[in-house]
Chain A
């Protein structure tokens, strides 16, 4: 390698940077242009590029990974490239014999007539027929590999989609269970919480119906449980009333009972802690009434003890 870096003809030329490819494209082009004009500069640049490339050899060689999928892909791509070029050459050669009829020209061929109708095979790009054949086979093999890989990829995608659906289902079920659990907790808290007032209701008839109102004052939740209420006639319903100390009658809803005379009514109504005086149940039209009209079947007084 020459040692003429300090020669006058190189003064001011950033040849080291050019060899490293570290110049802006415009400057790099200027250096390349000077090198194209001056063989001495070109030789200097070539020598510097060799020095730069040599630095790369200081890196520790790393063997290919087991299986080396990259090598397989690379060779498959090359085989496909060869097959594509061969096909392109074949397409181009289909035109050649037509031209030959008007202007016969000697052309390189791999001619080995087997019969009178054997066609002349033009030599394409100096590629022997058996190389083209091997390349075609390789291309076919690589195509099969690609198709197989695509099939596997599609199968994996489908499996992944199914797993995602299953995951969503499980997530939904979990959320549903958590919601139910939360509702149960709320219901339980409505009748057992520390701030729940209980009003006992006693029957006013010979029948032994009974009821109990749980008033969760912190959450303004009302839970009424009745037992042994008689079955209702069609078009009739029981009505639950909250009667305040000012004798205001607040409808808490209508309800029916099951075959055992049992009913559970839940309601939400925000009432001042000391406003409740009485809880009552009457029988009313199923469509409901603004004020109680029927006989009182159950009644309970909210005593100071029960609502503290």
Chain B
């Protein structure tokens, strides 16, 4: 766990702040599946996501609204970190959720849970935008930085709709990243936030490609071990 600047310990967040409870009202208005207040922990949050995606697949705009409210702060944070420009971020976030709406019917649990699917879409769209901007302006990696300088930035609980579990999860992931040796963390962050291939990372860091591959493999092995406690990546 990462020590936060406000000195608060994790996990935090009480039942009143639980995201599943907050979204239950949306689910209740749907015609397919109702989510009750009993679905408030671990698998319950996953059930909320699955229910919302199912309802989106059946063209329920209320489900999209609920899903957006539930996940947009997380998606916006990721997109902003990759894109770097708030104006572009708003557009990308909209496109991410529009893609979710359009592809909800094709969502396949076998390929990963809803948050994995969502974050994969968000990262992909954000990297597309960042690359397009880079091509247009011939920028020199101003926005496609490794993000390591912002690794310690943590949000305030008041800024997001479902702070407890997210903060807990965020701390866990940030802690796992920080626990990596610096050289391994560097390649992971360059790969994830800057979207660089291993060859590009090797070129950028002036390292042999094999070294980058080794560092990546070792980093992922450690990350998987550190994050094994996360049974799912729900909000």
**What residues of chain A have their CB less than 8 Å away from a CB belonging to chain B?**
1, 3, 5, 14, 16-17, 20-23, 42, 46-65, 69-71, 73-75, 77-79, 81-82, 85, 125-128, 131, 135, 138
5 more A-B residue pairs beyond the given contacts A1-B228, A22-B195, A47-B224, with a C-beta to C-beta distance below 8 A: A14-B213, A51-B223, A59-B77, A75-B61, A125-B59
| Pair B81/A50 contact, Cβ less than 8 Å | no
* Chain A residue contacts of B160, Cβ below 8 A: 61, 63
Give complex CA distance A131, B31 in Å. 9
Cα separation A46 to B124 with both chains bound (whole Å): 17
Q: B119 to chain A: which residues have CB within 8 Å?
A: 53, 56-57
B72 within 8 Å of A (CB atoms): yes
Cβ contact of B233, chosen from A50, A60, A65, cutoff 8 A: A50
Q: How far is the CB of B198 from chain A (nearest CB, A)?
A: 6
Which residue of chain A has the shortest Cβ distance to B74 in the bound complex? A61
- Per the bound structure, the CA–CA distance linking A51 and B225 in Å amounts to 10
Which chain A residues border B115 with CB–CB below 8 Å?
53
Chain A nearest Cβ from B217, distance in angstroms: 6
Is B154 interfacial (CB 8 A cutoff)? yes
Residue in A23, A56, A70, A78 whose beta carbon sits within 8 Å of that of B64 in the complex: A78
A20 touches B155 (CB 8 A): no
User: B122 at interface (Cβ–Cβ under 8 A)?
Assistant: yes
Complex-state Cα separation, A132 to B230, whole angstroms? 40
Contact indicator B93/A70 (Cβ below 8 Å): yes
Bound CA–CA A62/B123 (angstroms): 15
Identify the closest chain A residue to B81 (Cβ). A59
For chain B residues 57-89, which have a beta carbon within 8 Å of chain A?
Answer: 58-61, 64-65, 68, 72-74, 76-78, 80-81, 86, 89
> Hey, which chain A residues are within 8 Å of B60, CB to CB?
131
| Stretch in B19-27, B41-49, B130-138, B165-173 with 4+ CB within 8 Å of A | B165-173
**A59-B184 Cα distance, complex, nearest whole Å:** 18
Hey, what's the 0/1 contact readout for B190-206 against A, CB within 8 Å counting as 1? 01100111100000000
B120 at the interface (CB under 8 A from A): yes
> Of B31, B61, B147, which is within 8 A of A78 by CB?
B61
Q: How many residues of B contact A (CB 8 A)?
A: 70
User: Given A1-B227, A3-B225, A60-B150, A126 and B58 touching (CB < 8 A)?
Assistant: yes
Cross-chain contact A54 with B227 (CB below 8 angstroms): yes
- How many inter-chain contacts with C-beta < 8 Å in the A-B complex? 166
List residues of chain A with CB within 8 A of the CB of B59.
Answer: 81-82, 85, 125, 127, 135
Q: Is chain B's interface secondary structure helix, strand, loop, or mixed overall?
A: helix
Query: A56 touches which one: B31, B122, B153, B230 (CB < 8 A)?
Result: B122
Q: Is the CB of A53 within 8 A of B227?
A: no
- Chain A residues in 8 Å Cβ range of B188: 55
Given known contacts A22-B195, A70-B91, A74-B98, is B58 in contact with A61 (CB within 8 Å)?
A: no
With the chains together, A59 CA to B192 CA distance in Å? Answer: 11
Instruction: Please state if B122 and A50 are interface contacts (CB–CB under 8 Å).
Output: no
Contacts of A46 in B (CB 8 A): 110-112
Cβ-defined partner of B173 (8 Å) among A22, A48, A49, A58: A58
Taking a contact as CB atoms under 8 Å apart, the answer to whether B223 and A54 are in contact is yes
CA–CA, A246 to B21, complex, Å?
A: 112
Task: Report chain B residues within 8 Å CB of A21.
Answer: 120, 124, 195
Query: Is the CB–CB distance between B72 and A1 below 8 Å?
Result: no
Q: Which residues of B contact A47 (CB under 8 A)?
A: 224
